[in-house]
Structure 1
Amino acid sequence: MSNQLVYALAHIGYLSLFVGLLPLFVIITFGFRYVSLIEDRVATKRGGISTARHIWQGKIIGRLMRSSNVFAYLIFRAIPFPFFQQRASLLGDPAVPLPRSWQAWVIVPVLLMYLAVLTTLLTNLVVSQNIH
């Protein structure tokens, strides 16, 4: 692999670290309001969402953990296979209707954050393999 390509990949990996901070900021500030709204609607007494809400509460790390939990719930309930529906029911009530805008405020920033982490890891893997 050429040095210019390795150099470009290194910059992409480096920039993705900082670009990944933007969705993280959205998750713990603006987007968390929608996480709380979704939790209020779908939480069951013994579900994972209510348990996480009790354990993690509302500090910075807690907001990230609760957002990840609601993200998993939304993804699981969107997949039509019984296995995933069962997993969603372990977290909360999958039959509760939710506005799409609320779901977008949770799904989009978390996906962007995960994409930034994946981009960083992959570019670092490729760059480190080609340096040696």
Structure 2
Amino acid sequence: MKRLFVLVSAAPFFTAFMTDAAPPKHHVVSEVSGYTCMMLKLTDAQRMDFAHAPQFKTAPTSDAANVAPLTGQVAIRDDVAPENGYAEAINFAGRKVWAATTFLAPYHVESEPNTTCHVVKYSDNTYGFTYRR
């Protein structure tokens, strides 16, 4: 009987602890205007060459420092013309980066042609994509 009392009396504490410890939900705050979704356009050989993955750059030149590998979708600024073959983009942290246009194609899904991609800002001030059909 004594053990049952301890378990029952501790239950509200553990329930409250577990509920309060949950992180806030990550949710879309707004769509980001001025940017459009692009996707990678790579050959099978390029996809498998992990040592030479296409990179986001710090500036619109091939000798600029690499920031990170290009992601599957890229948020390209749509009101600025490419410079030296590089398009201005933002990464998930919202920082300006550059992507070689040779690796980019308009976003599309062959199996679901009505799907559209939209650049969004999340509640934690990061950026990403949402998709609609």
TM-score (norm 2): 0.26
Higher relative contact order (CA 8 A, sep 6+): 1
Q: Larger Cα Rg: Structure 1 or Structure 2?
A: 2
Structure with the higher helix share, 1 or 2: 1
TM-score (norm 1): 0.26
